[in-house]
Amino acid sequence: MEFPHSPLWSCTLINITATVTHTGFLDQRVSIISILYLPRGGFLKHLYETRPGQELYRWLQQRVSPPELYGTQSLFIGYRTDLGSTTKLDLFAYSPSLRRIRRQPQPRREDRLPNSAETIDDLIGRDAWEFTWRILGVDTLYDTVRFPVTR
């Protein structure tokens, strides 16, 4: 849903990615991501006190591999959204060859990332209000199932 693939606390994340591109090749990348998670009260403050339009997190990503991407950086600024505040992400990119920071246009969330089968939606998720919901019934679970069976 609304929660990205990163932890809901400030930390440094080493992101090692290997994906198959849309043309069928293997693409391997390594990035170091510094994450600043702004709701200081953690997950509950995120849910109950952060208002739509407020900034939730900042990711500063430094690419270290492959060599042709070494030194490129991206700054992702994520916001809480609702029907009125629809801006989910601001994105800035630094290129060592240009020696400039460029603001990127609002990403189309369903488009693939470069050389990847992933989309922005795969990284940052969609909000519950963006789906159509229908209750099919109510079940109460008493037992949990663990796969594979290790006992």
Closest CA to 8 of 77, 61, 56, 49: 56
d(CA 8, CA 115): 27
d(CA 114, CA 133): 32
The confidence score (pLDDT) of residue 32 equals 93
pLDDT digits (tens, 9 = 90+) for 24-42: 888 888 999 999 988 887 7
Mean pLDDT to the nearest integer, 93-103: 90
Could you tell me the sign of the dihedral formed by the alpha carbons of 113, 9, 106, 86, in that order?
positive
Please report, for the chain, the start and end positions of each structural domain, with discontinuous segments joined by +.
Answer: 11-130
Mean pLDDT to the nearest integer, 72-85: 87
CA distances from 23 to 56, 117, 129 (A): 35, 9, 33
The confidence score (pLDDT) of residue 41 equals 79
pLDDT digits (tens, 9 = 90+) for 46-71: 878 888 889 988 999 999 988 888 88
Amino acid, single-letter form, for residue 72: T
Confidence of residue 21 (pLDDT cuts 50, 70, 90): confident
The confidence score (pLDDT) of residue 4 equals 56
The confidence score (pLDDT) of residue 94 equals 94
The confidence score (pLDDT) of residue 93 equals 92
pTM here?
Answer: 0.71
The confidence score (pLDDT) of residue 61 equals 92
**Number of Cα atoms under 13 Å in the Cβ half of residue 50:** 23
CATH top class, domain 11-130: mainly beta
Q: Can you read off the two tokens belonging to residue 81?
A: 């959204």
Amino acid, single-letter form, for residue 131: F
